[in-house]
Structure 1
Amino acid sequence: MDKIYPFFLIIHLFCAIIFVGYLFFDVVILAKIKTKTDSQKTLDAISQKITRFMPFVVLMLFITGGAMAGKYFAQPLESMLQKLLLIKICLAALIFIFVVFSLSCHFIFKCKNPLGKFIHPIIFVLCILIITLAKFMFYL
């Protein structure tokens, strides 16, 4: 595991940048554009493109994160790093539930997401918390 850990880390970081970057773009920038423009075609094209590749990004994010987390849980839950990592995993599980729910509404049930415009801001806040915990993990 020690030999492939750096590769998982790089893939995980790039996927996190893509995922959080998209959420930032959607929550902060697209939210303003939606209220000031009538260009629904452009917004639909962006949404269609995102729903095609974002599930792959999220899947890679969770696979690499899970593989890397296994390294830190070889011993019983004792250190602050492990406790913060466990909180990160719980927050990530919440994000995973939201993503699966959203994709199920879109692809399986073919209905509008009942959480609608609230789901991306919620996931964005959870991502900010995860990033903050990731920085604190190695300093506490």
Structure 2
Amino acid sequence: MSVYSVAHIIHLFCAIVFVGGVFFETLVLSAIHSKDVPREARKAVEKAIMRRAVRVMPWVVGGVFLSGLTMAHRYAAAFAAPFAAPFNTQLCLKVLLAFGVLAHFLIAVTKMRRGTLTAAWSKYIHLAVFCQMVMIVLLAKTMFYVAW
């Protein structure tokens, strides 16, 4: 098995975990913010999930980015000429979105450590990352099939 193959498998597993986590937090966990869930219960659930996420997600994000960088050498020509072909453009857009996700992730981690992550910031970051992840997943598939 080649280094690229191993990196690709690691990339897929890390992406599944990250996208699944973002999907869960954005679309499922947001339901605990209803009037039906007592404030104390909501705080306890959020605290438990955040404790786990803070331990796991940095490794997942690191894995997805390191494996992505490992695979990137195969596409050096595409990065060198981003508008030469639809595949190149979609790949470059996918990478730009991934760095947007990384930026939002780093903002969230920094704000958490400083104690300045408000509910509004958290909601914005989750929604922004969710939208970026949807686009990344679409581009990851369409770049092999869609041309213009």
Per the TM alignment, residue 43 of structure 1 is displaced from its structure 2 partner at its CA by 2.1
Gaps of 5+ in 2: none
Per the TM alignment, residue 65 of structure 1 is displaced from its structure 2 partner at its CA by 1.0
Per the TM alignment, residue 70 of structure 1 is displaced from its structure 2 partner at its CA by 2.0
Residue of structure 2 aligned with 1:106, choices 105, 112, 120: 112
**Aligned AA for 1:42?**
V
1:116 counterpart = 2:140: no
* Residue 17 of structure 1: aligned partner: 16
Q: How many residues align?
A: 138
Q: Structure with the greater relative contact order (CA < 8 A, sep ≥ 6): 1 or 2?
A: 1
RMSD over aligned Cα, in angstroms? 1.7
* Residue 41 of structure 1: aligned partner: 44
Per the TM alignment, residue 62 of structure 1 is displaced from its structure 2 partner at its CA by 0.8
Per the TM alignment, residue 81 of structure 1 is displaced from its structure 2 partner at its CA by 1.4
8 Å Cα contact 1:73-1:82 kept in structure 2: no
**Aligned AA for 2:22?**
L
The separation in 2 between residues aligned to 1:42 and 1:96, in whole angstroms, is 25
**Aligned AA for 1:22?**
G
TM-score with structure 2 length normalisation? 0.86
The separation in 2 between residues aligned to 1:42 and 1:29, in whole angstroms, is 13
Secondary structure of the structure 2 residue equivalent to 1:121:
helix
8 Å Cα contact 1:106-1:112 kept in structure 2: yes
Percentage of matched positions with identical amino acids: 32
